[in-house]
Amino acid sequence: MTAKQITYLILVIFTLTNCKNDSLTEEKILGDILPQLVDSLHISRTNIFPPPPPPFYDEDSNFIGTDSIAVKLILEENEKILKKIDSIDSRLLVGIVDSCLVIDWDDLKERSYSSNAQIISILEANENVTSKSRSLNIYKIICPSDIQIITKSDLEKEFKDVWRIKTRKFGGLVAISQIYFDKNNMYGLLQFEVYPFCHEGFGCFVIIELIDKNWKVKRILRNWET
């Protein structure tokens, strides 16, 4: 084999190896699935909503209804606020907790959905792996143009109170675990938690599948809710 052929072979192997690894990097995977999770879990603006309309009471202080004219005015004012925000930055702002969640494997095994075939194969492939927290480099994640992600720590630096952001459409905080794969690297499992409001949220396990070099959300399994 000539030197030129050897060089070509090395380049082919290098390219194939990089392609395989690229599909398994967490940045690539999260770039694929985050928009799907935002849509499926209805993560949207939660901090900008109209105040309740003033109630009507009768002479005995019994509630009899609301002022329909006031309702219309309140909704119109809220729409003006949203349009003003959109004119500055229309992206949905999502904060991501800096460190990975730690999956409780024992807790997962107790869940009814632990009999799912994909979960079984992922558990078997990771039976000797210890789940641990680590930092996420979320700024390597490529998101669609209508979503902006930011670490929780950077969010707290930019806004005095992240739960009272009024200059952006804020979808809340999310926390993400490390992603674990089956032995064929065709399915993955991660834990995903959403906090749309302070002290309120829900958590789920997410099964993902590699289809045509892109990761798709296959199933979302609710874990807890407050």
Residue-wise DSSP of the chain: --HHHHHHHHHHHHHHHHHHHHHH-HHHHHHHHHHHHHHHTT----S--PPPPPEEE-TT--EEEE-HHHHHHHHHHHHHHHHHHHHH--SEEEEE-SBPB---HHHHHHSGGGG-HHHHHHHHHTTTPPP---B--GGG----TTEEEEEHHHHHHH-S-GGG--SSEEEEEEEEBPPEE-TTSSEEEEEEEEEEETTEEEEEEEEEEEETTEEEEEEEEEEEE-
> How do residues 204-219 score in pLDDT, each as one tens digit?
999 999 999 999 999 9
pLDDT of residue 1: 59
Q: Which residue has the tokens 């309702």?
A: 71
State the amino acid at position 147 in one-letter form: I
Mean local confidence (pLDDT), 4-31: 58
pLDDT digits (tens, 9 = 90+) for 159-201: 999 999 999 999 999 999 999 999 999 999 999 999 999 989 9
What pLDDT digit, counting tens, does each position of 88-134 carry?
999 999 999 999 999 999 989 999 999 999 999 999 999 988 888 88
Phi/psi for 72 (5° steps) reads -60, -45
The pLDDT-based confidence of 18 (bands split at 50, 70, 90) is very low
Q: What is the pLDDT of residues 38-72, one digit of tens each?
A: 999 999 988 888 888 888 898 888 988 888 888 89
Domain map of the chain by residue range? 26-48+90-225, 56-86
